[in-house]
Amino acid sequence: MGGRGAYGKVRVLSNDELEELEWRLDVSKDLKQSRLEVKERLLGKEIHTEKFDEHCTGLIKLNSNGLNDVLCNRHSPSSKRKWALERLYRKKLRMSYAGYEDLDPNSHNLAEKLNKGFTGFNKYSFSFRGDNFVLKTAIIKGKYETPYYIYEK
């Protein structure tokens, strides 16, 4: 008998192929499961950024308030967006500054935002596996940022 056994030759997947399979599996999860898993992986972590302009703090804290905001289905209505945030952190993806926004004085929840210490928003763009995303962060008292919204360009 030969050394191949009953199954023949075994092919080992490349790192890129394994990453693609993992990505497909993650984005196929339902919204609730994605929210729970991404929050568990990111809670308490930080993303350090360049200080692209005067509104950038250089620090995005992945705290409970920020993760609850960004991972709610209004602010990331697909598993793909939720997992993109996880990959941004885990893969240390390069972000580009996409601008600053003042708080909207006509926002339905302006009082809540002010109570949380929001002073404005920054937007950062990044890419993963050929898809482009924008992460909107809330600036908290000018000291740090938390994730607020993520969308696909």
Identify whether the C-beta of residue 137 lies closer than 8 Å to the C-beta of residue 144.
no
For the cut 80, the answer to whether the pLDDT of residue 137 exceeds it is yes
pLDDT tens digits for range 13-64: 999 999 999 999 999 999 999 999 999 999 999 999 999 999 999 999 999 9
What number of CA atoms fall less than 13 Å from residue 108's CA on the CB side?
0
Average pLDDT over residues 72-78: 94
Percent of the chain with pLDDT over 70: 95
E-strand ranges in 49-117 read 59-62, 96-101
Classify residue 139 by burial, with Cβ atoms within 10 Å: 0-12, 13-18, 19+: buried
Classify residue 69 by burial, with Cβ atoms within 10 Å: 0-12, 13-18, 19+: buried
pLDDT at 9: 84
Run of H or E including 120: strand 118-128
Q: Which two tokens stand for residue 130?
A: 């050929």
Q: Which two tokens stand for residue 123?
A: 């937007």
115: CB partners within 8 A, 6+ apart:
none
pLDDT band at 109 (very low <50, low <70, confident <90, very high): very high
